[in-house]
């Protein structure tokens, strides 16, 4: 008997399922795409336990006859293409004919469908690739598919699935993308019997973005629509200055297909180079249209990636289009020149930044937070003391034993500030450049760690709660973690569907920073940068994130404040680095200075 043999259809389908159906979200993706290709104007998606136990996709599309339904479960059976040349002019999502047989081979698969003009529908049940029955059923025009017991015939694949919460997040993200791509299609998403979002037909993209991501985010967007050399870029982009800490709100579609393309993503980031701070990502919901022959969608098994024939031209067009729109916004929003103000000689110049007067804490007097740097109290904060209260005067705790640390910090003589960010000191050994931000972050990090551990986080109640509107995924994340967040100085309460109010803040945070911080925290959760499996690790990551937000550097700082900063830095357990691992100071010895000056 020869060594080479042809695999059975069942084995071939299960192999294909390993490429096409990697997780429950991939099942939902394929079936939603089929519904849209069938001309549906209403799509309902329901799943349970992250898609493990059930996924149901129902639409009001064209439906199928019994013969077409049976044929659709055969491998490489498709109505989308007939010849290889059709790949150059694809106008549909699916085209390979592998999804349905692959799904049916690794699950309990029930297909109910009826086409217009037929008096009765058809029901087909396939379990693990084996046909169980084909019979008549009653249903409206359209198709309903139930997938349960996913990977029941290949249990080894089930072990690679993540938690229900993770798999559910992937499903929600996928359905949301198709809802954005087709605003005129009504979408409903149900998880474990709870409606995640229900969006009726929307007149335009802005309405759908407001339905899914919230009207707060939609208000930060402006339309864009440009065309050039057979390419078109349309949709919504963020106003200058409106950004996020993650790329979750930077979404691109190519010929209405949601994809992750580096060419357009990098072009968007490059376009906002002068409009957003470093480390922030733009808001974007953009549709890029191009001749199907100029883009290859048959690169990845799940069609998540595409390849352009002229990637440089695409990138250049996107950058030019976005930059042009941002310049238009800058010209229209530029304020009129302020009239000159004459200040009499000797008169006090008012501070340009008003102070933030915060409500009283329990057992503490009201305090004022100004955007200026004050010496930080070197002693460990107590539960009743505000961590932002200015110190009475500099104090110098003894420095830990370290080869790089000075033996006694008062021996450092403050010389001045360089570029506003670095403090220059003269020491017996030479010169020291101190990174003010890195030093402050190290002090805050260890202080917050201690407060989190002891449960002594000073909190301030807001007179006016901060409203927070989130998209369904972020809302679900926040609801699951309210107890953790509220146990670390916050008080966040649910105030409606995907709507919250921040009623209390940690004392180190200004009210204006509350919303961005919570959004950044949720972004860290979605990216896996903040893990909750271990409380001590989660608290450390939260302290690291909070320390970067707590620092306020003034443009000027006095000698007392700088010497107090040095004293507190070397009272820390790890004074040599910031929480991010960067150096807090650099020392230039006499020998290094002599070598630099060639002495």
pLDDT value of residue 393: 33
**Pairing outcome for strands 284-289 and 250-254:** parallel
Q: What is the pLDDT of residues 281-336, one digit of tens each?
A: 999 999 999 998 888 876 665 556 788 889 999 999 999 999 999 999 876 655 44
Counting residues of the chain whose pLDDT is more than 70, the rounded percentage is 77
Which pTM does this prediction carry? 0.66
Full DSSP string of 285-321: EEEEE--GGGEE--SSTT----EETTHHHHHHHHHHH
Is residue 358 within 8 Å of 464, Cβ to Cβ? no
Q: What is the pLDDT of residues 403-418, one digit of tens each?
A: 344 434 547 889 888 8
For 450-469, the three-class secondary structure string (H helix, E strand, C coil) is HHHHHCCCCEEEEEEEEEEE
Residue 442 has pLDDT above 70, yes or no: yes
Is residue 564 within 8 Å of 385, Cβ to Cβ? no
Mean pLDDT, to the nearest integer, of 41-49?
Answer: 96
**Residues pairing with 32 in the sheet:** none
Report residue 14's pLDDT band, with 50, 70 and 90 as the boundaries: low
Strands of 13-78, DSSP E? 42-48, 54-59
| Residue 599, number of CB atoms within 10 A of its CB | 8
Residue 564, C-beta contacts closer than 8 angstroms, at least 6 positions apart: 375, 376, 378, 391, 393, 394, 395, 396
Distance CA 314, CA 320 (A): 10
Domain boundaries, the chain: 9-201, 206-329, 359-599
Burial of 234 (0-12, 13-18, 19+ CB in 10 A): middle
Of the listed ranges 17-21, 195-199, 348-352, the least confidently predicted one is: 348-352
**CATH architecture of residue range(s) 206-329:** 2-Layer Sandwich (3.30)
Name the CATH superfamily, with its identifier, for domain 359-599. Answer: MutL, C-terminal domain, regulatory subdomain (3.30.1370.100)
Counting residues of the chain whose pLDDT is more than 90, the rounded percentage is 33
Burial 408-446 (b: 16+ CB within 10 A, else e): ebeebebeebeeeebbebebebebbebbbbbbbbbbbbb
Burial of 333 (0-12, 13-18, 19+ CB in 10 A): exposed
Is residue 257 within 8 Å of 93, Cβ to Cβ? yes
Report residue 58's pLDDT band, with 50, 70 and 90 as the boundaries: very high
Mean pLDDT, to the nearest integer, of 457-471?
Answer: 87
First to last CA, the chain: 86
Distance CA 380, CA 571 (A): 10
CATH of domain 9-201: 3.30.565.10
Distance CA 414, CA 45 (A): 65
């Amino acid at each position: 008997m020869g060594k080479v043999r042809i695999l059975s259809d069942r084995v071939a389908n299960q192999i294909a399922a390993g490429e096409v159906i990697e997780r429950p979200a991939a099942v939902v993706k394929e079936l939603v795409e089929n519904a849209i290709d069938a001309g549906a104007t209403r799509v309902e998606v329901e799943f349970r336990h992250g898609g493990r136990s059930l996924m149901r996709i129902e639409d009001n599309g064209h439906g199928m006859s019994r013969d077409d339904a049976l044929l659709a479960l055969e491998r490489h059976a498709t109505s989308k293409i007939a010849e290889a040349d059709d790949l150059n002019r694809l106008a549909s999502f699916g085209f390979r004919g592998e999804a349905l047989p692959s799904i049916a081979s690794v699950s309990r698969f029930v297909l109910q469908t009826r086409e217009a003009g037929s008096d009765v529908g058809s029901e087909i049940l396939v379990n693990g690739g084996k046909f169980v029955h084909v019979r008549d059923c009653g249903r409206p025009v359209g198709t309903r598919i139930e997938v349960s017991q996913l990977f029941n015939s290949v249990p080894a694949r089930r072990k690679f699935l993540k938690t229900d919460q993770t798999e559910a997040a992937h499903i929600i993200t996928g359905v949301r993308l198709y809802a954005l791509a087709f605003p005129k299609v009504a979408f409903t998403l149900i998880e474990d019997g709870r409606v995640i979002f229900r969006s009726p037909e929307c007149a335009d993209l802005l309405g759908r973005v407001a339905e899914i991501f919230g009207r707060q985010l939609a208000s930060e967007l402006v339309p864009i629509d440009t065309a050039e050399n057979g390419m078109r870029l349309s949709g919504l982009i963020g106003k200058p200055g409106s950004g996020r800490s993650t790329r979750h709100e930077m979404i691109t579609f190519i010929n209405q297909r949601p994809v992750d393309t580096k060419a357009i993503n990098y072009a968007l980031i490059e376009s906002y180079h002068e409009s957003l701070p470093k480390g922030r990502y733009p808001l974007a919901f953009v549709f890029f249209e191009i001749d199907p022959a100029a883009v290859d969608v048959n690169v990845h098994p799940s069609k998540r990636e595409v390849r352009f024939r002229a990637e440089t031209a695409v990138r250049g067009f996107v950058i030019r289009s976005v930059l042009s729109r941002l310049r238009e916004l800058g010209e229209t929003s530029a304020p009129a020149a302020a009239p000159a103000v004459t200040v009499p000689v000797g008169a006090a110049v008012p501070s340009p930044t008003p102070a933030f007067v915060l409500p009283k804490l329990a057992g503490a007097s009201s305090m004022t937070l100004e955007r200026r740097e004050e010496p930080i109290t070197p002693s460990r904060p107590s539960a009743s003391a505000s961590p932002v209260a200015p110190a009475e005067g500099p104090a110098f705790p003894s420095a830990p034993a370290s080869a790089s640390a000075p033996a006694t910090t008062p021996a450092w003589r403050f010389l001045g500030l360089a570029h506003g960010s670095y403090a220059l000191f003269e020491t017996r050994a030479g010169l020291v450049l101190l990174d003010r931000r890195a030093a402050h972050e190290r002090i805050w990090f260890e202080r917050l760690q201690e407060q989190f551990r002891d449960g002594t986080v000073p909190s301030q109640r807001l007179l006016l709660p901060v409203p927070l509107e989130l998209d369904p995924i972020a809302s679900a994340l926040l609801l699951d973690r309210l107890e953790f967040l509220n146990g670390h100085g916050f008080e966040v309460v649910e105030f409606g569907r995907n709507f919250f109010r921040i009623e209390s803040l940690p004392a180190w945070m200004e009210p204006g920073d509350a919303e961005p911080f919570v959004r950044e925290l949720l972004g860290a959760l979605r990216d896996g940068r903040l893990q909750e499996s271990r409380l001590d690790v989660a608290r450390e990551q939260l302290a690291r994130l909070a320390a970067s937000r707590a620092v306020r550097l003034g443009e000027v700082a006095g000698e007392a404040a700088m010497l107090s900063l040095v004293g507190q830095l070397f009272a820390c357990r790890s004074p040599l680095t910031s929480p991010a691992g960067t150096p807090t100071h650099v020392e230039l010895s006499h020998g290094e200075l002599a070598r630099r000056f060639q002495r």
